[in-house]
Amino acid sequence: MTTVERGPVFVVGATGQVGGEIVRQLVRAGVGVRAGVRDPDRAALPEGVEAVRLDLTDPATYGALEGARRMFLLWAPGTDVRRHVLPLIDEAARRGVRQVVFLSILGAERVRIVPHRTVERHLEASGLGWVFLRASYFMQNFTGVHRDDVRLRDEIYVPAGRGRTSFVDVRDVAAVAVRAFAEGFERRAYDLTGDAALTYGEVADILSVTLGRRVRYADPAPLTFVRVTRSRGTPLAFALFMLAEYTVARLGLAGRVTGTVREVLGRPATSWRVFAEDHRQVWLRGDG
């Protein structure tokens, strides 16, 4: 553990799923936040958050880091890791940032070709105090990308077979990040999962009970998944990205469960049943 830095935390991706939750939890904890966003005038942020322009594809905006000592970082799909994320890390080091909490993925240390591991290795060599949040598959994907599958079609439409996944709540991931900032953690990698590994059939059963209507798990063939997902408006690149993720589950490689959330936060990880109850309104229809 290093000396705890003061001042605002610079948050990359502050209006996104994980960055937005980190912003909210930091604000609740009384910590100042500087949010790096593309359009500060239009960003929906909590009161008191300082919004500054940051575009990872435009190095001229990297000066927004000036004076920051702590940063939350993620790789945004659609950006180039080597052209955009690594230069931001270098600029952060030059401008005096001392601690970087990076959102990675579970197993990144074993799959060196993934962009997340490229970022991890660069941080390890940067001289910065780093923390890696190696998160499993987010429960919030069901309130985001898969929301309408559940809400409108009463189904989970993913090609994951009978493989198990150790889903994690974004709120737990954000809480670990906030704890890392508060305690000054550095040179630590946290494998973050929920409390159990479930099949998508079991998730469908939980949603069925929560919503009071039958939600079924459709297990399409890989090519069918891509074709149907594309027909529903999903870009091809993202459809293929999802196919890769669900293939990992189909092969039985996504089910590892850790106790890290409990160890860091002193409480159990959020269960799927609790998550479903907390977000029930998202999936209700007019007849719900």
Distance CA 97, CA 83 (A): 20
Model pLDDT, residue 114: 82
d(CA 191, CA 171): 15
Whole-angstrom CA distances from 52 to 27, 49, 210 are 17, 10, 40
Instruction: Evaluate whether the domain defined by 142-164+195-256+270-283 bears CATH number 1.10.10.2120.
Output: no
Alpha helices in 29-102 (DSSP H): 86-94
Residues 155-177 pLDDT 10s = 999 999 999 999 999 999 999 99
Domain extents in the chain: 9-135, 142-164+195-256+270-283
Q: Which fold has domain 9-135?
A: Rossmann fold (3.40.50)
Helix (H) or strand (E) holding 110: none
pLDDT digits (tens, 9 = 90+) for 193-216: 999 999 999 999 999 999 999 999
| Confidence at 1, pLDDT banded by 50, 70, 90 | very low
Query: Is the pTM value of this prediction over 0.75?
Result: yes
Mean pLDDT rounded to a whole number for the chain: 94
Q: What are residue 100's DSSP bridge partners?
A: 71, 130
Average pLDDT over residues 91-105: 96
Q: Which two tokens stand for residue 139?
A: 């429960």
